[in-house]
Structure 1
């Protein structure tokens, strides 16, 4: 990403009694913004990744968007300029068109929706304990079993590895589609700070959320706790360490990275009348709790989206220039792409690797609070990526030490540090090595800091030195690149080191 642009935080605007969170709107080449029901022709030209597609029949925000089993996308509920909506419609990526679907039994906004194993869609949250089920085959909605406790805030839902549905709003709950029952998840922390896109599911099925983070009282609030992790296999919660830099005291979004970490960005530092973009992008390892500051800065309100090709799209932020950003986890760099001038659009990954953005709102007058709900829709196509080089690791340092085991014996020890191609510590690597004056091969496994120690056997005092030689470093899904072995302090070549008796 290049440069910094003027930023604007979201404000709260009322549409005929409906409270809607709104953000900055900036110029774009193909925005389709219109009141509900208006007919607007959608250009089809592709602009650096984004291409407009047919607009929604109803302009809406705070709606759900769910990919169906057949690849189509169901959009349901939300708010118009006048009321909470019960209408729904279906997008067909094959034809690029929308078709009206049946109305929901209960109008809903800020809900979450997920496709169940049998192909039906569950809509939950945003409307107390009410839930609704949609059958795409019959185009029929039915009232679902009520949630165990009401939730009215922005809701997240995803399918757990056991087929159950994890739902997070003001509460955490689990739905069992097989017997249509709910249960509240015990020992969940208080979800006091719900926000859009503040929760993500990892490949393991565990869930990382920011909405239980605690902040200090003053503006801007500083985090006093880190993100929370729900471990589905044990039905337990843990809290990660506090971020090293304030990610913002509101509007922070998250996305899962291919390496298992979670990226945070797009937050706002709330200085009352003059909110500022937190800017900093960082990631946390949900297993170890270690934090890393990543390159680049984001605009306030940028939403992070995990793309099917492993990259991260940051879109919808507040700036005077209409710019989105794409992060490459392999290169650990950001690239700017023209944006699409829409905030709070739903972003749904499609089966072909593209992403459908639908609805949302936009402020055409940057210095006013006039907000236009949008019926625009667009497709983001990630830049084709070449096959990334295979992951490699190597010895990044060898350090020796000795210890006396008795008056007549001593013990050599060598601490090995294993790094990946980017210089980051590699945990769980098995280092194999031999010592002269000692039979057999010794092994050790690196800790989270990438180090482990070899040796510990005894040699007679008459043996003045011994030489360690690293014979292999094994790590799943990574290749040992011995040619890259090195030692920054120069006491070895990264492969062999001499340990002298002291």
Structure 2
């Protein structure tokens, strides 16, 4: 296994100081304010916590499923029109679901897999939304039910679905993975993870491989792995330096991967962030968030910065947002969301603005799904 490395001596000193504060994080931070504002936009036709959100080729955004107003899974979907700044109902899925995984296929259709259904257990069904007809089509089932898996569009147009759990959220994370071929509408098995996990991140690298990082399998995980679509196998790569459950991950313009926040050892809320270098197979700490958070959203902006929005610190649902600057390696506070939210979804619009949609306004498993949405803009 490759060794975990730190960038500089100053970063090490900052990591020590932050760890002494009791949150178990590493890295440096800044509280400098950065221009950026959130403004409320149209309301969805129903409240949704843990929905999927995908940008369509025409600039609209499909928001599907989620936990609805009665705290049960819904099958409905909404389309957001950035020109009118409004939502409208579109075709509904056959199966209500939340905590599913989704990607936009090369032909513009939206692939939505797994999730949890109305009976509280995982589902194996997969549905594809066709923007041209505003309808959903059921396709082949996965080999097993999967809640909170990852789904990654590979360079060959196929979709890699990894991990998750099938029935019990407190145990039984999956190590298996499978690949969906849109041309045949079928799944095939592929290599398995070395470490079973749910609540992980999956990032397509510039070399076509996929980085799987963090997650949970009864304990919060470090244990990053690399999937090679040519061999169909997973291999262990360098350590992040700390376990992370429900972090976020983004491929930066320079090809590195930024992993931010999440829940760490003893379920601590993390402010730290790490960068993965695929050329060396190692992680290094970078700057830290000003406000620790988990289950936030993160979005790569057109200028190469990353917007971190909302989340939950195990006490409060957050409305705060920060920007990561890859040039300086620091986080700065930007405008706050109009409402606190976690378990929300995001999509970067064609004009570079970011749609933040749905989520929950209360912590724990108390429901609190919301129908509101907002737009982040740096203009």
Same fold, TM-score > 0.5, yes or no: yes
Specify the alignment match of 1:360 in structure 2.
359
The offset of 1:115, in angstroms, is 2.4
1:230 corresponds, among 227, 230, 249, to 227
Specify the alignment match of 1:425 in structure 2.
none
1:180-228 Cα offsets, whole Å, 9 max, x none, are 1211112433432x116x222223332111257889x7xxx6x6x6311
Q: Which runs of 4+ in 1 moved over 6 A?
A: 212-215
1:447-501 Cα offsets, whole Å, 9 max, x none, are xxxxxxxxxxxxxxxxxxxxxxxxxxxxxxxxxxxxxxxxxxxxxxxxxxxxxxx
Structure of higher RCO (CA pairs closer than 8 Å, 6+ residues apart): 2
1:303-347 Cα offsets, whole Å, 9 max, x none, are 433223211111113466742110111222221012222111111
CA–CA separation in structure 2 for the residues paired with 1:212 and 1:323: 24
1:143 corresponds, among 138, 144, 168, to 138
1:333-390 Cα offsets, whole Å, 9 max, x none, are 2210122221111111222222111100112xx8x98552111111112x36xxxxxx
CA–CA separation in structure 2 for the residues paired with 1:282 and 1:172: 25
Tell me the C-alpha RMSD between the 2 structures: 2.9
Distance 1:247 1:350, change over 3 A: same
1:337 corresponds, among 334, 338, 347, to 334
Does 2:170 align with 1:174? Answer: no
1:283-362 paired onto structure 2 within 5 Å: 283-297=275-289, 298-301=291-294, 302-318=296-312, 322-340=319-337, 341-362=340-361
Query: Contact conserved, 2:297 with 2:344, CA < 8 A, in 1?
Result: no
CA–CA separation in structure 2 for the residues paired with 1:369 and 1:232: 37
Question: Secondary structure of 2:287's match?
Answer: strand
Does 2:129 align with 1:134? Answer: yes
Larger radius of gyration: 1
1:66 corresponds, among 54, 62, 67, to 54
Distance 1:158 1:214, change over 3 A: closer
Specify the alignment match of 1:207 in structure 2.
210
The offset of 1:270, in angstroms, is 4.9
Does 2:249 align with 1:243? Answer: no
Does 2:101 align with 1:108? Answer: no
Distance 1:71 1:153, change over 3 A: same
CA–CA separation in structure 1 for the residues paired with 2:106 and 2:239: 37
Specify the alignment match of 1:400 in structure 2.
none
CA–CA separation in structure 2 for the residues paired with 1:370 and 1:176: 38
CA–CA separation in structure 2 for the residues paired with 1:71 and 1:154: 26
Does 2:376 align with 1:380? Answer: yes
Specify the alignment match of 1:264 in structure 2.
259
Specify the alignment match of 1:154 in structure 2.
148
Distance 1:212 1:62, change over 3 A: closer
Q: TM-score, normalised by structure 1?
A: 0.59
Query: Contact conserved, 1:7 with 1:300, CA < 8 A, in 2?
Result: no
Query: Contact conserved, 1:361 with 1:373, CA < 8 A, in 2?
Result: yes
Distance 1:213 1:100, change over 3 A: closer
The offset of 1:59, in angstroms, is 0.4
CA–CA separation in structure 2 for the residues paired with 1:169 and 1:98: 32
Specify the alignment match of 2:80 in structure 1.
91
Note the residue ranges of structure 1 that are not aligned, 5 or more in a row: 9-46, 385-502
Note the residue ranges of structure 2 that are not aligned, 5 or more in a row: 1-17, 24-34, 116-121, 165-175
Q: TM-score, normalised by structure 2?
A: 0.77
Specify the alignment match of 2:106 in structure 1.
117
CA–CA separation in structure 2 for the residues paired with 1:214 and 1:98: 37
Question: Secondary structure of 2:280's match?
Answer: coil
Question: Secondary structure of 1:268's match?
Answer: coil
